[in-house]
Amino acid sequence: MPAAECVRVVVRSRPLNEQETSMGCTYVLETDPSCSQCTIVNPADRTAEPKVFTFDAVFDKEATTELLYNDVVYPLVESVLEGYNGTVFAYGQTGSGKSFTMQGPDNWPVQKGIVPRTFEHIFEAISTTENVKFLVCASYLEIYIEDVRDLLGKDTKQKLEIKEHQERGVYVAGLSMHPVHNVNECEKLLQKGMRNRATAATLMNTDSSRSHSIFTLHLEMFEIHHGREHIKTAKLHLVDLAGSERQSKTRAVGERLKEATRINLSLSALGNVISALVDGKSTHIPYRDSKLTRLLQDSLGGNTKTIMIACLSPADYNYEESLSTLRYANRAKNIRNRPRINEDPKDALLRQYQEEIERLKNLLRDLQQPVGPQAPSSIPTDESRLELETKQLRMEYERKMAIIEEQFRMEQITKSRLEKELSRLRDSYDRAVRRTEDNEAALARNFAAQTGMNTEQALERLKMLEEQIIGGEQLSNKALVEKRKQKKKEAERRRRQMREMERNRQLQEEQMMDAYKDVNQTLQSVQGKLENEKRRNKALEKDVQDLYGEFERERQDYLDTIRKQNQQIKLLSQLLDKVKPCIPRDCNYADLDGVKRAAVWDVDSQSWNLPEVIITRTKLPKTESCNLSNSLRSASSSRQDQMILNGEYSSDSDSGDEILRQVRWLFLLMKIRYEGLFPKIFAKSEAENIAGTYFKPLRQRNVANTTGESVSFSPYSHSTTWQHLQNGVLYTDDLYASGSQSAKPKPRLLESNFSYRPSPSS
């Protein structure tokens, strides 16, 4: 099991901005980089004991992003180049400098952000590394109002689904991954994603991020060591979180208020995960409470080296927010991860590329050689068959060798006889291997014939694949190689220095009572320690009071959120009561109780899966028209025929008898008319099977339609990486095609009572 290490937490304070200066705000935050301590004073009670927090590193308002990167982030990126997963994320309230730290200004070199510095670091290392080839892909996503979006995709508003792979963990289905070869390509992708990211102005920040963004670099490394191929993979997540904010300060309304509510809920879920990880008694870690914690699951308590940068505002106006950030950061430094090198994955893209390149090289070599005619039956059609044949030959060879050695030991065969047998066996094995190689060449020629690929097409494909693999381009640049060596030495020196500072601080805190010369010195030392403990105890009591106040404020915020949600629920309920009478009775949504029973909650998407809308249309069979009036006129004009039918006709009958005769004629006409019509109706009804289809439920038709939709082409279904590579983009489904599962349960269908599907003849 890999060794555990804690999440590294650093604090960065910014200067007062123009708005805080105009408001007359004062500093309540003091930083001491020499001992990595941060002190905050309560502006409402200046006489109270200040609160002191200790972290892995502290950077004051004068510190540059370049210094922060070299001291803290540089070793993490070096670990990523060795095969570890890494995460860097900035945390803090809105306007505290998170995006400034991660992205940075373009026209201020020393304040260039962590993300662009990471690009330069990685590609400089790749270009000066010997005997290692790299494949680098970039992806960029945002979490906006709990919806995951691809900032580099064709449709940036499309919602993506989070899934989980059995071996590789959580991933976003359908997320585009773009192969990159240099710093410029990465910066173009970053700028494109930032233009698509959701930002807006608030009272506290004119360019406030309204979403969490994650820029990820996927690295695959191919190295041949001692004659064996080694492939390592790594991921580097660069996370820029949206800031927590209070409605009373930002005055957010409408869409901005909805965004702020979602942001605060996701950050609250992040705080709950941190608290659960630190608390050893927690048996459940609530990663699924938000999309953010779901995606950062491996970074918090998993297989990742993680750095948290807590950004603070030093103004007394933001005292409560800064104190809350410090407490979160103080808890986060106790999270323990277990990072390990990701070696020899089965589904690495780089492995697929290397195999394809080797196959294309063999194809080009065989296309350039003259080939004699061969019998079709001697050419295998499956590469796996050749591999199996080679393996069987090797196993047979080893088995016979074992038998011969055993016979030599048991029967003491002479040396000459044994050498002759071994020589014969080696010759047989060599002939079989040559025959297998000839079959492989024939297979390559068959592959070219089947795919219709000529030499130019194979060369073009080979060139495209080789361009995706980079590494060692600047090995001849001695100055650049030496510069990288000096950077690594300086980073190692700073790391040792920080370790020494941490060790000295711990020794001072844990220093025991030394042997003193007399009792007075011993008494003074004990009294000094007692005073220190009293101050600590008083500070802890003050912290308890502050926590009670903070909990009360959070409770009030939650209550306000609940009240607003109840208002929305009542509004929707009243609207539903008004709309319900307008729903047709033949629609399944007329039965709202049944719809509620059929609804299923999806944990991943945080939404309800509702049954499909079904409208039952009852269509009765058509009847054949009969013109009784014409029949009556025909009957009245042919009295002779009616006399023949009833035999009781008399010309001297009165009006009553005439009426009776008219009625009798009517029934007789109906009998004559329908004696020929009824058999036709019965035959048609039997063909239509009205009794079998009129009361037939819609279940079969709905299931058939649903089944037909389930096998339809999915927008995230990608056949081969080669087709995507031609378009210059890959997808996460290429990596996680097998072993993935979604937590989304299938929604149940709500059956209709009756249905009738008329036949085409009707």
What residue numbers does the annotated binding site for ATP cover? 92-99
Smallest CA-to-CA distance from 359 within 242, 443, 238, 299 is with: 443
Burial class, 619, CB count within 10 angstroms (exposed 0-12 / middle 13-18 / buried 19+): exposed
Residues forming beta bridges with residue 755, ordered by sequence position: 695
Query: Cα(356)–Cα(725) distance, rounded to whole angstroms?
Result: 13
Query: Cα(762)–Cα(758) distance, rounded to whole angstroms?
Result: 6
Q: Of all helices (H) and strands (E), which one includes residue 6?
A: strand 5-6
Look at residue 458 and give its three-state secondary structure. Answer: helix
The answer to whether 269 touches 291, Cβ cutoff 8 Å, is no
Radius of gyration of the chain (CA): 40
The answer to whether 75 touches 499, Cβ cutoff 8 Å, is no
Handedness of CA 541, 543, 549, 552 (dihedral sign): negative
Query: Cα(310)–Cα(330) distance, rounded to whole angstroms?
Result: 10
The answer to whether 604 touches 744, Cβ cutoff 8 Å, is yes
β-strand 8-13 against 57-59: which pairing, if any? parallel
Query: Cα(176)–Cα(730) distance, rounded to whole angstroms?
Result: 6
Annotated binding-site positions: 92-99
Q: At what angle do helices 639-646 and 655-675 cross, to 10 degrees?
A: 90
β-strand 199-200 against 57-59: which pairing, if any? unpaired
The answer to whether 550 touches 324, Cβ cutoff 8 Å, is yes
Vertex 435: Cα angle to 433 and 437 (nearest 5): 70
Look at residue 46 and give its three-state secondary structure. Answer: coil
Distances (CA, A) of 285 to 1, 6, 90, 167, 463: 21, 17, 22, 20, 48
User: In one letter, which amino acid is 756?
Assistant: Y
Query: Cα(609)–Cα(745) distance, rounded to whole angstroms?
Result: 8
Smallest CA-to-CA distance from 328 within 417, 391, 385, 268 is with: 268
Smallest CA-to-CA distance from 162 within 174, 151, 173 is with: 173
Query: Cα(427)–Cα(131) distance, rounded to whole angstroms?
Result: 36
Smallest CA-to-CA distance from 239 within 168, 137, 139 is with: 139
β-strand 336-337 against 740-741: which pairing, if any? unpaired
The answer to whether 12 touches 23, Cβ cutoff 8 Å, is no
Vertex 668: Cα angle to 662 and 669 (nearest 5): 90
Residue with tokens 């009957």, as numbered in its chain:
635
The answer to whether 335 touches 48, Cβ cutoff 8 Å, is no
